[in-house]
Amino acid sequence: MTEANEKPGCLSILFPFLNRSQEETTSEELPYRLRDDFLSPAEFSFFKVLSSVVGPQLTIQSKVRLADIFFVARPNENRSYFGKISQKHLDFLVCDSVTMQPVFGVELDDSSHNRNSRHERDEFIESVCKAAGLTLLRIPAQREYDAREIAFRVQPFLKEKATLSTAPSPTQPQPQVQPQTESGNPVSAVPICPKCGIPMVLRTVTRGDHKGKQFYGCKNYPSCREVKPVKV
Ligand SMILES: [Zn+2]
């Protein structure tokens, strides 16, 4: 071993950090730190009250990106629509604890709600929720929240839990025309996805008791899990 090789070894005894791999050093140099204000005081205060009123039936998620809640039904025709939801977040998304299906969203309106740019953003988010059939509760941001008032707003979702799985269909107009095959022949047997308004595709069950059985599924799977039976 040459002196040149020994030198770093000796130094590493005195300064153990010299022994760390390049990869470790690089990750240590990244400038990320944990935020101390993940939730603002108003958000945290609301979160605690909401947690106490929804109970174990529902689970609260904070700051959820719209693109993780919604998908664009016909992405090829609506390329610009993904960008509109890729940078925006809902303050809270409340999900069914068993299925984690979204049940309703919450936006806390602080004083910035009245600013023009904010107002536009808020209206857009409201339209997105409406189009996709997700109820959005708007609640004025406060230092403290009245648990009874919040419970009153949330109660319908707890009572009607049994019907939540059949959330209202999107308000998208459903095409009346039958899809055409590439040869131009009508394919009357191909159903239209009720959620996305596009022709469904024939799929085959690959596992379980129904293995080999065919059904129609949505092209947007797994974002859309609509299925229809094959009529024989
Ligand atoms: Zn679909």
Give residue 166 CA to ligand 1 midpoint distance, Å.
15
Give residue 196 CA to ligand 1 midpoint distance, Å.
4
Domain that holds residue 51: 41-164
Q: Which residues of the chain have pLDDT under 50?
A: 1-8, 161-187
Cα distances from 217 to residues 129, 166, 229, in angstroms, run: 24, 18, 9
- Residue 21 confidence (pLDDT): 55
- Residue 58 confidence (pLDDT): 95
Give residue 176 CA to ligand 1 midpoint distance, Å.
16
- Chain segment 9-30, per-residue pLDDT in tens: 555 555 655 555 555 555 578 9
Q: Are residues 88 and 198 in the same domain?
A: no
* Residue 52 CB partners (closer than 8 Å, separation 6+): 147
Picking from 222, 218, 173, 223, the residue whose alpha carbon sits closest to that of residue 200 is 218
Give residue 226 CA to ligand 1 midpoint distance, Å.
6
Give residue 164 CA to ligand 1 midpoint distance, Å.
18
Give residue 40 CA to ligand 1 midpoint distance, Å.
36
- Residue 93 confidence (pLDDT): 98
- Residue 173 confidence (pLDDT): 42
* Residue 73 CB partners (closer than 8 Å, separation 6+): 170, 172, 195, 196, 197, 198, 220, 224
Q: Are residues 54 and 94 in the same domain?
A: yes
CA distance 165 to 14: 63
Q: Are residues 54 and 149 in the same domain?
A: yes
Total of domains in the chain: 2
- Residue 161 confidence (pLDDT): 47
What are 75-81's contacts with CB under 8 Å, separation 24+?
75/220
Cβ–Cβ contacts within 10 Å for residue 166, how many? 7
Give residue 195 CA to ligand 1 midpoint distance, Å.
5
Residue 199, in any domain of the structure: yes
